[in-house]
Amino acid sequence: MRWFWIDRFLEFERAKRAVAIKNISLAEDYLTDYMPGYPVYPQALVVEGLAQTGGLLAGEVNGFRERVVLAKVAKAEFHLLARPGDTLTYEAILEDVKSSGAICRGISRRGDQIQAEVELMFAHLDDRFQGVDLFEPAAFLGMLRQLGVFAVGRKADGSPLDVPPHMLQAVRG
Amino acid sequence: MPTQAEVFQKVQTALVDALAVDEADVTPEATIVGDLGAESIDFLDIVFRLEKAFGIEIPRAELFPEDILANAEYVKDGRVMASGISELKKRMPFADLSKFESNPVVQEFANQLTVNDLCRYVGGKVGAN
């Protein structure tokens, strides 16, 4: 299946902050069983969506050269249940990025209500994981484009984000 | 230059935040794994917070001497030999390895790191008095 738990980036400020939306649809398969007769959006997928928002933000800091994985959910508070027809807006704020990983705060909102708040820790896979590729380069670049990373992405000076040369090269062959 | 007390305060805060334990649990003699319940992923979190709190870099090998503990030159039948112990002492002068020395089982190594060891490590890096 397509493991996209965000639909589009609205804002993407390099190394600082990103905002993405998730539109919850009654057509999502797992809703048959969650829960029967009363579809609700699983909080675990809210965490995943916030992690995708924050993880791509963290990955872009180093031009997607580091393999970023979600390592720890330090805090997760859920204030209300989201349901089909809702649009969740995920805001990821990068608190710190180091060579070993990144820490990110995530807030999920439904309109102006805070739906959930998380604190996430990402790790950069180091040389103990040699030769492990998380994504096939062309597919990954395609995903970033579909999500609008380069359409809305901005560097600190306000200029648009570019596709990292090593990714273009991998795609062109 | 921070004092030992200031170092302890910041290390204590880092451990409270990373491990969700009470301040009262974080005593100098408490072991990070045994007493405070840290798992391997927590160590990355702890290192992160210490690096941020003290503005230092903590190379993995300084706190986690995996290269020594996995080296056939220093380890035999799951136990660290005298040569390995002396390497560990050289690599980690801040750690009190006396307990480990009396029963140097590799698997037990992580379990004997104490809050004090961390404080001494950080203190050494920031030149605490």
How far apart CA B46 and CA B21 sit, in angstroms, is: 13
Contact state of B48 with A100 under an 8 Å Cβ cutoff: yes
Q: What is the DSSP string of B102-127?
A: HS-BGGGTGGG-BHHHHHHHHHHHHT
Contact state of B45 with A123 under an 8 Å Cβ cutoff: no
CB atoms within 10 A of CB B94: 17
- Highest mean pLDDT among A10-19, B70-79, B93-102, B118-127 belongs to A10-19
Alpha carbon of A105: minimum distance to chain B alpha carbons (Å)? 14
Chain A residues with beta carbon closer than 8 angstroms to that of B52? 96
Q: Point out which residues pair with A77 in neighbouring strands.
A: A117
How far apart CA A9 and CA A77 sit, in angstroms, is: 23
Alpha carbon of A124: minimum distance to chain B alpha carbons (Å)? 10
Q: What is the pLDDT of residues A65-116, one digit of tens each?
A: 999 999 999 999 999 999 999 999 999 999 999 888 999 999 999 999 999 9
Cα-Cα-Cα-Cα dihedral of B64, B69, B74, B75, to 10°?
Answer: 160
CB atoms within 10 A of CB A33: 8
Q: Where do the domains of chain B lie, and which CATH numbers do they carry?
A: 4-126 (1.10.1200.10)
Chain A residues with beta carbon closer than 8 angstroms to that of B18? 74
Instruction: For residue B47, give Cα distances in angstroms to A44, A122, B41.
Output: 27, 13, 10
Q: What is the pLDDT of residues B43-81, one digit of tens each?
A: 888 988 999 899 998 887 788 888 888 888 999 998 999
Q: Which two tokens stand for residue B55?
A: 């503005």
Which of B45, B52, B57, B62 is the best residue to mutate to test the A interface, defined by the most A CB atoms within 10 Å of its own CB?
B45
Q: Is A98 in the B-facing interface, judged by CB distances under 8 Å? A: yes
The Cα angle at residue A45 between residues A43 and A50, in degrees rounded to 5: 100
Chain B residues with beta carbon closer than 8 angstroms to that of A123? 41, 44
Chain B residues with beta carbon closer than 8 angstroms to that of A101? 44, 48
ipTM: 0.72
| Residues of chain B contacting A, Cβ within 8 Å | 17-18, 41-42, 44-45, 47-48, 51-52, 60
pLDDT exceeds cutoff 90 at A141: yes
Alpha carbon of B17: minimum distance to chain A alpha carbons (Å)? 9
Collapsed DSSP state (helix, strand, coil) of residue B12:
helix
Contact A116, A79 (CB under 8 A): yes
Instruction: For residue A138, give Cα distances in angstroms to A2, A27, A162.
Output: 15, 28, 16
Q: Based on the number of CB atoms within 10 Å of its own CB, is A98 exposed (0-12), middle (13-18) or buried (19 or more)?
A: middle
Q: How much is the pLDDT for A19?
A: 98
Domain A8-172, architecture per CATH:
Roll (3.10)
pLDDT band at A31 (very low <50, low <70, confident <90, very high): very high
Q: How much is the pLDDT for A165?
A: 92
pLDDT band at A1 (very low <50, low <70, confident <90, very high): low
Alpha carbon of B124: minimum distance to chain A alpha carbons (Å)? 21
How many pairs of residues across A and B have Cβ atoms under 8 Å apart? 27
Determine the distance from the C-alpha atom of residue B64 to the mean position of all C-alpha atoms in its chain, rounded to a whole number.
Answer: 8
Q: Which amino acid is at B17?
A: D
How far apart CA A119 and CA B50 sit, in angstroms, is: 17
Alpha carbon of A71: minimum distance to chain B alpha carbons (Å)? 7
Chain A residues with beta carbon closer than 8 angstroms to that of B40? none
Mark A43-59 as b/e (b = at least 16 C-beta within 10 Å).
bebbbbbbbbbbbbbbb
Chain A residues with beta carbon closer than 8 angstroms to that of B44? 71-72, 100-101, 121, 123
